[in-house]
Chains A and B, each alone.
Chain A
């Protein structure tokens, strides 16, 4: 029996996709090691993170008769692919796509193993306005489904927090020269900059900001919470940057120790962002299969009606597919490493 994977394994944001696939692989390897009655293999599709590939990917995986899917990894491709998986009655559990609208389309086969942008955006804004104490913030995004959605949530919450949204600008994630955006920010000298988008552009933005003398706080969301953010920033300029994520860092938690050790043994490096969420989500699917569910609709019913105690959180899904309890975690770049420094409470729009 096959369970699918749908995400970027090449292209600009392949690192995120690979970490998710590795989490899925580990769960399946451990499942298979116990010689179960039903053998499970992974059928991966490399979407390159490009929504234009999503249609082909959905058709390919549906044609391969997968019974459940881990993914799609990104929000843009999810919008295109989710309706097709729903029509084919294949439950799809994303371990990373955080766009709010995905849970609002009436898709009964959609599950999300982490908090969404509706929680992350307000939590980030609150963190900047209250914990950091920034009264003026520049909010920049990359105009993608994910980046713009997250940035808009931040913009809205900043207003209710009484902070000023000093600059709104949109960068081209494929461009190199962000001097026009940087000039706007430097001219407005806000206390903080928030960027909604992925790590490549975030790295360039913080680098160019620092080289023009910006000294305030830089914050970005989970799309930037990747070691490549530091490389793209050119190392030192990334120091002190805040990154938020609905993904937990299980490597520092006692119940994540066994997972971390097994993952490191299997892939030669420690788990990264969403590896653990992917591992949990896959284990929930595998639990459904172990309980004798071998068709898409049967697995779907199992996921809706059961609870799974994962290493990141307890997976219990609401009717719309969102998980019932989820936190936003705040990370900071310290000495070239991304370190978890605490949690921030979401706006609660998800409950």
Chain B
């Protein structure tokens, strides 16, 4: 135990934990939405994210963006990267639904079959990128040059940190409102609650499921571009570790629950950093999972409960 480290690094850990947590939360939405509607764990969601990081990188290279752009070029580059990443991730999510899940659902296959199909799709996507693109890390242009805006204690709050947290918050609120207030959202909640009755009430179930994958993909695309901005590199298996964390975040908050994904993501980001400062960085993942197990012992359905339909979301 390094209590002294924990105290001296409290603010830097908090800032970094919140930043990481914000990305996890966006990433976790894809797991949570799909689970809420289909009761399916979409293991290929980590590759939906990976495609987003790649798409953003490619478009930045294509437009000739370089490190440290300024002014309108910077805003344009970031928006373009975000749009392309969202499009790439959403297209991947929709393709997955169409190719890997829908045929199984049509034939009434068990959820276990869909889970295996998800794992298979995940391998296919990773290895496609490994073999046909690159098995080394590729650098993403650092269009947004980092500079420190202000300090909280010893914690540096940089423009990148602010961008990530604000963008994640805006996207979370937008999604939450979409699901709560729009007709589309009502369809999603209805299918989550009772797919058969929803069909009888005139909800187009295939369309609703597609919309669910689409929303999850869009959120993963935003997470991907934020990841690119912060870490500036990507590779075929970039989605694996954050994917596990995001899935854990979804379970911790209550899988199927949008606000749960937000809460879970933030908690896991913070736990990783606090755990690392307290026990050493080799224990950061262990800390997360010990806390997860402890929480699930007392709240088996996660902190905010499981249901997409009942969570007022």
Contact = CB atoms under 8 A, between A and B. Distances in A.
28 contacts: A14-B135, A168-B280, A169-B280, A169-B281, A170-B280, A170-B281, A171-B282, A172-B282, A174-B241, A176-B233, A176-B241, A177-B16, A177-B272, A179-B16, A179-B273, A180-B9, A180-B272, A180-B273, A180-B284, A183-B273, A184-B281, A187-B9, A204-B231, A207-B232, A211-B146, A213-B156, A228-B136, A234-B233
B168 interface: no
Given A11-B135, A234-B139, A204 B276 contact: no
Nearest to A15: B136
Contacts of A254: none
A10 B232 CA distance: 22
A200 interface: yes
Q: Ordered nearest first, which 7 A-B pairs have the shortest CB separation?
A: A180-B276, A170-B282, A179-B16, A183-B12, A183-B9, A181-B281, A180-B281
A170 B139 CA distance: 24
A320 B136 CA distance: 36
B285 interface: yes
B212 interface: no
A234 B142 contact: yes
Interface of B: 5, 8-9, 12-13, 16, 20, 130, 135-137, 139, 142, 146, 154, 156, 227, 231-233, 238, 240-242, 272-273, 276-277, 280-282, 284-285
B286 to A, nearest CB: 11
A212 interface: yes
A95 to B, nearest CB: 22
A76 to B, nearest CB: 17
A79 B135 CA distance: 26
Interface in A170-228: 170-172, 174-181, 183-184, 186-187, 200, 203-204, 207, 211-213, 228
Interface in A211-258: 211-213, 228, 231-232, 234-235
A343 interface: no
A143 interface: yes
A116 B135 CA distance: 29
A253 to B, nearest CB: 29
B285 A172 contact: yes
Interface of A: 10-11, 14-15, 143, 168-172, 174-181, 183-184, 186-187, 200, 203-204, 207, 211-213, 228, 231-232, 234-235
A234 B229 CA distance: 12
A15 B277 CA distance: 33
Contacts of B285: 172
A101 to B, nearest CB: 21
A187 B13 CA distance: 11
* Interface class of chain B by DSSP: helix
A10 B231 contact: no
Given A176-B231, A186-B12, A204-B233, A232 B277 contact: no
B65 to A, nearest CB: 14
A177 B19 CA distance: 11
Nearest to A200: B137
Given A143-B282, A172-B285, A178-B281, 13 more contacts: A14-B135, A15-B136, A169-B282, A170-B282, A174-B241, A179-B20, A180-B284, A181-B276, A183-B16, A183-B277, A187-B9, A204-B231, A207-B232
A304 to B, nearest CB: 38
Contact of A184 (B5, B20, B137, B282): B5
A255 B241 CA distance: 47
Nearest to B276: A180
A76 B241 CA distance: 23
B52 to A, nearest CB: 15
Nearest to B227: A176
Nearest to B237: A174
B154 A187 contact: yes
A234 B146 CA distance: 13
Contacts of B146: 211
Given A10-B135, A187-B8, A200-B137, A171 B241 contact: no
B9 A234 contact: no
Nearest to B19: A179
A13 to B, nearest CB: 10
Contacts of A187: 5, 8-9, 12, 154
A231 B231 CA distance: 13
A200 B16 CA distance: 21
Nearest to A211: B146
A232 B9 CA distance: 26
A178 B284 CA distance: 11
A231 B12 contact: no
Nearest to A143: B282
Contacts of A170: 280-282
A336 B5 CA distance: 35
Contacts of B142: 234
Nearest to A10: B135
A204 B281 CA distance: 15
Nearest to A171: B281
A165 B280 CA distance: 15
A231 B146 CA distance: 18
A153 B313 CA distance: 55
A14 B8 CA distance: 39
A212 B280 contact: no
Nearest to B131: A10
Contact of A212 (B130, B156, B227, B240): B156
Most chain A beta carbons < 10 A, residue from B142, B281, B282: B281
A234 B232 contact: yes
